[in-house]
Amino acid sequence: MPAKRHRVTRGDDYRRVVRSGYRVGGAFCITHAVLRAPGEPARFGFIVSKAVGNAVTRNLVRRRMKTIAERRIAAGFSAVDVVFRALPAIAEVPYSELESTLNRALDRVERTRAATQGSP
């Protein structure tokens, strides 16, 4: 599980990211992101509704997404608040495919951050 400083924990923060954030659609998950000041840690939030499945399935999906987030943090991902909203199809996808899909979405967020901050 990501450290507390890497988690979106307040409802207000979830709403801010989902309502005003950059949105990346996908087959299994919708990724919402809001840029933060350079040097601040990345924070991740996860929304997995009952439409995804029973409690066991939802927790499995959430743990998989948390693992992917931890790997991105370890690789240096920073200065962004990200909320993943799981779609029902996520329950049937293998982990490797989920990881590549979420990494693709996070790569798009990083490119957007680089473009708005003027980084190469």
Among 38, 41, 44, smallest CA distance to 119 is for 38
pTM of the model: 0.88
Helix (H) or strand (E) holding 8: none
Do residues 27 and 86 touch, judged by C-beta distance below 8 A? no
Helix (H) or strand (E) holding 31: strand 29-35
Q: How many CB atoms lie within 10 A of CB 14?
A: 18
pLDDT tens for each residue of the chain, 120 residues long: 567 788 888 999 999 999 998 999 888 999 999 988 888 999 999 999 999 999 999 999 999 999 999 999 999 888 899 999 999 999 999 999 999 999 999 999 888 877 776 655
Beta-carbon contacts of 92 under 8 Å, excluding residues fewer than 6 positions away, are: none
Do residues 50 and 103 touch, judged by C-beta distance below 8 A? no
